[in-house]
Amino acid sequence: VIQEDLLLTPGPVQVPDSVRKAISRPMINHRGPEFKELFLEVTRGLKWLLNTENEIVIFPSSGTGVMESAITNLFSPGDAVLVGVMGEFGRRFADIASAFGLRVDLLEVPIGYAITPVILNDYLEQAISQLRNKSTLTSAPPPYKAILLTHNETSTGAILDLKGVAAVAREYQIPIIVDAISSCGGVEIDVGSWNIDVLLTASQKALMNPPGLGIAAVSERALSMCREATLPRYYWDYRRFIEKSRSQETPYTPCIPIWFGLKEVLAEMQKEGKACLFARHRELALTLRQGLSEIGFEPFAKEPFASPTVTAVVPPNPYRADDIRKTLRVSYGIVTAGGQGPLKGKVFRVAHMGAIRPSHIERLLGALKGLLST
Ligand SMILES: Cc1ncc(COP(=O)(O)O)c(C=O)c1O
């Protein structure tokens, strides 16, 4: 029997059999009644998962596409934004904003750490007091049009306290746009109660599907920004998608197979329940990190920032991360991801999200033990 490789990369991920079956269904007419039904079930499921009544916009794209959609829909050239940077994906968000002519300030923490509510609050307090000093006004307007954040920094395995950070943004009345591409589906995200203006995610991570769908949950406040914003947009225009959603359609041809797959996953998640789903991710992460530390490997991001969905792993001396990855793949059929940016060659990254089960983690730990003993 040929065993399939075990895919432990943080996107694309291992896709469950039920999803493989769903995505191989015959095609349907995207202007017909079957798609309308599919549209309703997927958007209802996402609203349930994110606890929101905000508009759901679904693009045929990867995650970076929806990140760009948030910039082109909400801003005008020269608008000031604050971007939280905890690693490579925060930097990407800042790069996209700069590419479209926004004024970008960075709130950066060392890799392995996360932006905390206190860090954000202190930064904004200082930014506002500097503005007050410059002007004669007693109350300065918010210094930023929006704050852009990465919920779960996939390059380091660090997650931020989104509820706490969102509460600080709310206090300062600054909208927040959150890249939850590697957390949504594995970690609680309460868009409704936490007042998240734009929540971005994609199909190929904890949503257990192949790559192909970029998803944005867009608030009323974000939509009013969208109406005022002057950056050019056409394909990515939220307003076209929302208008078309009134008849349960998308303006342009949707990526139908992944819609089928997402419907399947959302139904399974609803059966499992959110509390169990998120607890299962936390437990899996703990099992991995405990097992790793028993054999001398170290998670790069430590508690309380260690992510429930992805871990960057530092190997013990004198082992090299890329040699370990190669042996895992060639000798054990386990595929992990390499380090990115400053962590290139220093860590390997393991996903523990979606369809990954304790037996998969045991298989990885067993392989690592085997590799150390040869
Ligand atoms: C946190 C985060 N943001 C953005 C992206 C970019 O997504 P994509 O590669 O789907 O464009 C990724 C992908 O790994 C990610 O993990």
pLDDT tens digits, one per residue of 268-288: 999 999 999 999 999 999 999
Q: What is the pLDDT of residue 185?
A: 98
Mutate which of 89, 160, 307 for ligand 1 pocket (most atoms within 8 A of beta carbon): 89
Tell me the pLDDT tens digit for each residue of 12-50: 999 999 999 999 999 999 999 999 999 999 999 999 999
Tell me the pLDDT tens digit for each residue of 121-178: 999 999 998 887 776 666 667 899 999 999 999 999 999 999 999 999 999 999 999 9
Q: What is the pLDDT of residue 133?
A: 79
Nearest CA to ligand 1 atom 8: 63
* DSSP type of residue 341: G
Judged on CB neighbours under 10 Å (0-12, 13-18, 19+), 140 is: middle
Q: What is the pLDDT of residue 1?
A: 47
Percentages helix, strand, coil for the chain (3-state, rounded to 5) are 45, 15, 40
Q: Is 63 in the pocket of ligand 1 (CB under 6 A)?
A: yes
Q: What is the pLDDT of residue 215?
A: 98
Q: What is the pLDDT of residue 326?
A: 98
How many percent of the chain have pLDDT more than 90?
Answer: 95
Q: Is 312 in the pocket of ligand 1 (CB under 6 A)?
A: no
pLDDT at 106 over 90: yes
Query: Cα(126) to centroid of ligand 1, in Å?
Result: 31
Give the nearest ligand 1 atom to 310 CA: 16
Range list of β-strands (E), the chain: 6-7, 55-60, 80-85, 103-108, 146-150, 152-153, 158-159, 176-179, 198-202, 213-218, 298-299, 310-314, 334-335, 337-338, 348-351
Confidence tier at 300 by pLDDT (50, 70, 90): very high
Give the nearest ligand 1 atom to 65 CA: 11
Give the nearest ligand 1 atom to 150 CA: 1
Phi, psi of 325 (to 5 degrees): -55, -45
Long-range Cβ contacts of 103-110 (<8 Å, 24+ apart)? 103/78, 103/79, 104/80, 105/80, 105/81, 105/144, 106/82, 107/82, 107/83, 108/84, 109/84, 109/85
Q: Is 11 in the pocket of ligand 1 (CB under 6 A)?
A: yes
pTM of the model as a whole: 0.97
Mean pLDDT in residue range 344-356: 98
pLDDT at 373 over 60: yes
What is the per-residue DSSP string for 225-254? Answer: HHHH--S--STT-HHHHHHHHTTT--SS--
Q: Is 183 in the pocket of ligand 1 (CB under 6 A)?
A: no
Mutate which of 182, 200, 343 for ligand 1 pocket (most atoms within 8 A of beta carbon): 182
Q: Is 89 in the pocket of ligand 1 (CB under 6 A)?
A: yes
Tell me the pLDDT tens digit for each residue of 176-219: 999 999 999 999 999 999 999 999 999 999 999 999 999 999 99
The residue among 130 and 120 whose pLDDT is bigger is 120
